[in-house]
Amino acid sequence: MKQLLTFTAIIFLGMIPISSVSAQTPTDHLMMPKGTLCNFLGYSTSRWDNYWEGANKRINENIGTFKTENILFMAALGVTDKLNVMVGLPYVKTSSSASYLAGQQGIQDFSVWLKYNLIEKKGDFGTIKAFVTVGGSLPATNYNTDFLPFSIGLKAKTASGRLILSYANKGFYATVQGGATLRSNVEIDRNSFIFNNKLYESNIMPVPNAADGSLTLGFANTRFQTAVSLDRFGCLSGDDIRYNDMPILTNKMEQTSVNWFGRVNLGHLSVIVNAGKVLNGRNVGEATSLGGSVLYWVQIFNKAKKADK
Amino acid sequence: MPFDTEGGILKSKKLLKMKKISVLYIQFFVLVLVSTLINACQKTAETTELEAYLPTNLDETGGSWKPFLVTSGTDITVASPTATTSAEYQAELAAVKTAANGATAEQKAAIKYWSAGAVIRWNEIARDLAAQYNIPPKNNPDGTYPAPDANNPLAYPRFPFANPPYASRAFALLSVAQYDALIATWKYKMQYKRSAPYKVDATLTPSVPKSELPSYPSEDAVVAAASRELLKLLFPGEAPLLESKATEHKNSRIWAGANVQSDIDAGEALGKAVAAKVIAYAKADNMSKANAQADVPKLRDDATKRGITTQWTSRDLPARPPMLPFFGNVKTWNFDSATKVAIRPTAPPAVGSADFNKALDELRAIAKNRSREQFRIASFWADGPGTYTPPGHWNRFATELIYKYKYSEIRAARTLALMNTAVEDAGVVCWDVKYYYLLPRPTEADPSVTTSTGIPNFPAFTSGHSTFSAAGATVLSYIFPNESAALNAYAKEASESRIYGCIHYRFDCEIGLTHGKKVGDYAVNRGKADGSGL
């Protein structure tokens, strides 16, 4: 039986804004059947006290506990059984317990992805699937970006591609996937900045491109699903946060995290909870995250065929 | 094989096909990833290209202009050069021709870089250093803060902490050294009138525009030597970098076919001699006492005696010692200390007074609902840690105008010396006011006033940005009258940016602008009386 699209909500929080996250979301091994529309609304929050300044972990009394909250709306449609289209739009809010700097909030980047099921092979050995996802994102609002860690996003336009391979047998499954994200340079409000220990008198900041990968192990049946994943995100270039300075968009952000989610299906409705922790990183916060979300699916076309099944 | 049980052969063939396809896809994907990686690693920031220009005016009378510290253009002696007909000169000329003909790609890049202007490039180098060194030290585990040590500049925290007052003084000393040295240079150029090598030998085609200026001593070598010496004093940890920049600068003139070695050597000696006089001034200008933290309790007591009981405290955690509390005692360039006291603004509205609360209310409203445009303006002018500071921002405007109007080296140096002495004077008088009235920052008065930029670690009244900017705009408006409207608008926006950022009350900014304008006027008057006729 075909499963609904699952939003694993693997979200990089803290100093890695959601733009990198959005490209992460269509990462599972399942497809929406033709004619099915799935709406997703999720809330998640993350906190960190420690962060990595370059490779050095530190605390900063002037920040205290840094908190990011986001509300993510997504929708996915089965155009065909093999092709899904997805859109996402997050609202993000940042704050810190000790800083006098103004927390930021607002609608971040609009994302769209196409997901195609390249290969599906079922047999006694189980099911093998391969998917390719391509997508992109654009800032949905003119938010303040050169204000990390408080900025709600990097404001870069992105294009991403990923390959997902999965194996499932008797409800158990394993997914491995890797992706790359090209990120545009970003126009900032000031017209000079230090990058790689050199002063640039320009208002165009180079935002490094990024790659990510993850390994997921899970179990799913018609009522219930749970999975754990080990996730790695890394910029492909960039510099470190200068000693005792603020992070900026040029920084080479990297992190390894573990994430878990559980899901219960109640007819057309699913309830999901997720949690994650950053294990190590570079130029990011040591974030712990928690989230909850609901998704609701409806058959909007291809109803007859669906009924036949 | 587990899947052989059901029509095994057919299935394996299918699987084989699938495998091939997936291998192809994976290969494609890896290819995309690899090319992405290669592109990603090359991701760089943009830089502005500058071209060499011939100045619109050679300023032949420059040798008679009035210097700041050197008594006159003849204060330093430059020996008479060898005649261009001499065997010695001819040997130098031959060496220049060989060097110019054999210039490598790297040497050509150096020629192009330095040909944009000696004063312009050294000012850029100073801006870069100011930005790199503008970072407050991190606290020790016990909550105290380490202080940079000039005698051990590369140990953490590196010396200097190039905060705005430090940077204002650095730019002023650099510009005065360049200007005074160039006055002497022009004097001797016109006195000796030794032609440039490409004038002596028409077969030599220089790779920079052919100037009509006599070439002895070389203005490039003068600026390189004077700048190197001053920047070594101001950024002592950067001596190797500065030596290599100056050497490359001087050599670039030989590689370009624009100077012979004796032009360069005379320039080096002249630049260094003037630099020594400026360094002597710098060592006695009271900067060494500007960070006397032990004297802060007395400073606070004195303010209490004057009735100032609610006094500024640091917003940093842990509380950071105030930034350069005695910078207000540093020697001013364009007026004396009695004038400094005479033009000191009267007291700001007392904390809790109706006028004070009105100003605070404006900030409460902004903090609650700061617009995107207000944030942008606050960010554009913030010039905080990791930047060249407001004085650096005004130096950038000045060098952009110098380039736009194709100023000669000496007129470029005069522009920067007048502006930077005014900007340092602005810093001095502003710091004097800040530690005289010790007014708390808005966020200290009301923690709900959150800011969109860091709160500087010194009292609010008056705004440093406003004072620096009004002084800079006033001097540049005198020098570039066509740009006056834009420059004054910049100063006003820089000033208001501090209100939008919620780190200053409106009265800090408005009174700072007025104060800075007065400071700028002293530099303008100096310029009008310096014999340049400009």
Q: Rounded distance, CA B38 to CA B348, Å?
A: 58
Strand partners, A120: A129
CA distances from residue B255 to A177, B52, B119 in whole angstroms, order as listed? 56, 15, 19
Q: Rounded distance, CA A36 to CA A79, Å?
A: 8
* Sign of the dihedral through C-alpha B49, B54, B57, B61: positive
Interface test with A, best of B23, B120, B235, B317 (most A CBs within 10 A): B317
A126's tokens? 């189980």
Q: Rounded distance, CA B328 to CA B431, Å?
A: 5
Residue B206 Cα, gap to closest chain A Cα (Å): 30
Q: B167 by DSSP, 3-state: which?
A: helix
* DSSP category for residue B407: -
Query: Which domain CATH number covers B423?
Result: 1.10.606.20
Q: Which residue of A has its CA nearest to B320?
A: A62
Question: Is the same domain home to B270 and B359?
Answer: no
Count the Cβ atoms, other than its own, within 10 Å of residue B298: 10
Is B253 or B43 the better-scoring residue by pLDDT?
B253
CA distances from residue B1 to A33, A171, B9, B11, B508 in whole angstroms, order as listed? 31, 21, 11, 11, 82
The answer as to whether B37 is a domain residue is no
Mean pLDDT of B92-100: 97
A214-242 pLDDT, tens digit each? 999 999 998 999 999 999 999 999 999 99
What is the b/e burial string over A234-266, where b = at least 16 CB atoms within 10 angstroms of the residue's CB? Answer: bbbbbbbbbebbbbbbbbbbbbebebebebebe
The answer as to whether B456 is a domain residue is yes
A126 inside 8 A of chain B by CB: no
Interface test with B, best of A100, A146, A207 (most B CBs within 10 A): A100
B28 inside 8 A of chain A by CB: no
Which 16-75 residues of chain A touch chain B by CB within 8 A? 61-62
Question: Taking CB atoms and an 8 Å limit, are A209 and B385 in contact across chains?
Answer: no
Strand partners, A220: A225
Q: Can you tell me which residue has the tokens 């998917």?
A: A131
Q: B168 by DSSP, 3-state: which?
A: helix
Q: Which of A147, A202, A238 sits opposite B46 (nearest CB)?
A: A202
Residue B373 burial (C-beta neighbours within 10 Å; 0-12, 13-18, 19+): exposed
Mean pLDDT of B148-160: 96
B105-147 pLDDT, tens digit each? 999 999 999 999 999 999 999 999 999 999 999 999 999 999 9
Question: Is the same domain home to B429 and B339?
Answer: yes
Q: B451 by DSSP, 3-state: which?
A: strand
Q: Rounded distance, CA B13 to CA B18, Å?
A: 9
Q: What is the pLDDT of residue B22?
A: 55
Question: Is the same domain home to B191 and B271?
Answer: yes
Q: Which of A123, A188, A206 sits opposite B43 (nearest CB)?
A: A206
Which residues in chain B are contacts of A130 at CB distance < 8 A?
Answer: 22, 25
Residue A144 Cα, gap to closest chain B Cα (Å): 7
Question: Taking CB atoms and an 8 Å limit, are B379 and A144 in contact across chains?
Answer: yes
Question: How big is the A-B interface in CB pairs under 8 Å?
Answer: 150
| H or E element, residue B192 | helix B164-192
- Pairing of β A254-266 and β A269-282: antiparallel
CB-based contacts of A30: which residues, under 8 Å, 6+ apart?
A2, A3, A4, A5, A6
B468, HSE (Cβ side, Cα atoms, 13 Å): 29
Contact A224, A264 (CB under 8 A): yes
- pLDDT of B151 > 50? The answer is yes
Question: Taking CB atoms and an 8 Å limit, are A147 and B379 in contact across chains?
Answer: yes
Question: Is the same domain home to B233 and B374?
Answer: no
Asked whether the ipTM of the predicted complex exceeds the cut of 0.95, the reply is no
- pLDDT of B37 > 60? The answer is no
Residue B227 Cα, gap to closest chain A Cα (Å): 19
B315 inside 8 A of chain A by CB: yes
Which residues in chain B are contacts of A124 at CB distance < 8 A?
Answer: 2-3, 5-6
Question: Taking CB atoms and an 8 Å limit, are A198 and B128 in contact across chains?
Answer: yes
Q: Which residue of B has its CA nearest to A182?
A: B36
Domain end, chosen from B262, B283, B304, is at B283
- pLDDT of A120 > 80? The answer is yes
Q: What is the pLDDT of residue A32?
A: 85
The answer as to whether B88 is a domain residue is no
B37 inside 8 A of chain A by CB: yes
Question: Is the same domain home to B456 and B508?
Answer: yes
B274's tokens? 């003037």
The answer as to whether B44 is a domain residue is no
Q: Which amino acid is at A179?
A: G
Question: Taking CB atoms and an 8 Å limit, are B25 and A242 in contact across chains?
Answer: no
CA distances from residue B149 to A84, B123, B158, B247 in whole angstroms, order as listed? 63, 24, 7, 27
What is the b/e burial string over A27-48, where b = at least 16 CB atoms within 10 angstroms of the residue's CB? Answer: bbbbbbbbbbebebebebbbbb
CB-based contacts of B104: which residues, under 8 Å, 6+ apart?
none
Question: Taking CB atoms and an 8 Å limit, are B36 and A200 in contact across chains?
Answer: no
Which residues in chain B are contacts of A201 at CB distance < 8 A?
Answer: 47-48, 127, 396
* Sign of the dihedral through C-alpha B5, B11, B13, B16: negative
Q: Report phi then psi at B94, rounded to 5.
A: -60, -40
Q: Which residue of B has its CA nearest to A191?
A: B380
B316 inside 8 A of chain A by CB: yes
The answer as to whether B118 is a domain residue is yes
Alpha-carbon dihedral of residues B371, B376, B382, B385, nearest 10 degrees?
A: 110
The answer as to whether B165 is a domain residue is yes
Mean pLDDT of A274-293: 95
> Percent of chain A having pLDDT more than 90?
84
Using 50, 70 and 90 to split pLDDT, how confident is the model at B34? low
B357-389 pLDDT, tens digit each? 999 999 999 999 999 999 999 999 999 999 999
Residue B255 Cα, gap to closest chain A Cα (Å): 26
Which 63-92 residues of chain B touch chain A by CB within 8 A? none
CA angle A48, A52, A56 (to 5 degrees): 135
Question: Is the same domain home to B247 and B326?
Answer: no
Question: Taking CB atoms and an 8 Å limit, are B450 and A246 in contact across chains?
Answer: no
Question: Is the same domain home to B379 and B249?
Answer: no
- pLDDT of B91 > 50? The answer is yes
Contact B315, B444 (CB under 8 A): yes
Please state whether the peptide bond connecting residue B157 to the residue before it is cis, i.e. omega within 30 degrees of 0.
yes
Contact B45, A205 (CB under 8 A): yes
Residue A206 Cα, gap to closest chain B Cα (Å): 6
Which 134-153 residues of chain A touch chain B by CB within 8 A? 142-144, 146-147
Q: Rounded distance, CA B499 to CA B418, Å?
A: 28
Q: Which of B33, B135, B388 sits opposite A211 (nearest CB)?
A: B33
The answer as to whether B312 is a domain residue is yes
| Domains held by chain B: number | 2
A146-193 pLDDT, tens digit each? 999 999 999 999 999 999 999 999 999 999 999 999 999 999 999 999
The gap from C-alpha A156 to its chain's centroid, in whole angstroms, comes to 15
Question: Is the same domain home to B274 and B369?
Answer: no
Question: Is the same domain home to B241 and B366?
Answer: no
Which residues in chain A are contacts of B50 at CB distance < 8 A?
Answer: none
Quick one: three-class SS letters along chain A?
Answer: CCCCCCCCCCCCCCCCCHHHHHCCCCCCCCCCCCCEEEEEEEEEEEEECEEEECCEEEECCCCCCEEEEEEEEEEEEECCCCEEEEEEEEEEEEEECCCCECCCEEECEEEEEEEEEEEEEEECCEEEEEEEEEEEEEECCCCCCCCCCCCCCCCCCEEEEEEEEEEEECCEEEEEEEEEEEECCEECCCCCEEECCEEECCCEECCCCEEEEEEEEEEECCCEEEEEEEEEEEECCCECCCCCCCCCCCECCEEEEEEEEEEEEECCEEEEEEEEEEEEEECCECCEEEEEEEEEEEECCCHHHHHHC
- pLDDT of B317 > 90? The answer is yes
Q: Which of B156, B372, B386 sits opposite A242 (nearest CB)?
A: B386
Residue B398 Cα, gap to closest chain A Cα (Å): 14
Question: Is the same domain home to B303 and B216?
Answer: no
Domain end, chosen from B283, B308, B334, is at B283
Q: Rounded distance, CA B128 to CA B134, Å?
A: 10
Domain end, chosen from B250, B283, B316, is at B283
Crossing angle between the packed helical segments B484-500 and B372-382, to the nearest 10 degrees:
110
Q: Rounded distance, CA A174 to CA A168, Å?
A: 6
* DSSP category for residue B327: G
* DSSP category for residue B419: H
Question: Is the same domain home to B100 and B218?
Answer: yes
Q: Which of B25, B135, B455 sits opposite A100 (nearest CB)?
A: B455
- Pairing of β A198-200 and β A193-195: antiparallel
A127 inside 8 A of chain B by CB: no
Question: Is the same domain home to B457 and B382?
Answer: yes
B418-469 pLDDT, tens digit each? 999 999 999 999 999 999 999 999 999 999 999 999 999 999 999 999 999 9
The answer as to whether B327 is a domain residue is yes
Q: Which domain range does residue B241 map to? A: 60-74+94-283
Which residues in chain A are contacts of B47 at CB distance < 8 A?
Answer: 200-202
Strand partners, A95: A67
Contact B418, B171 (CB under 8 A): no
Q: What is the pLDDT of residue A148?
A: 95
A163 inside 8 A of chain B by CB: yes
Q: Which residue of A has its CA nearest to B387?
A: A193
Domains of chain A: 18-308 (2.40.160.40)
Residue A234: closest CA among A260, A215, A216, A209: A209
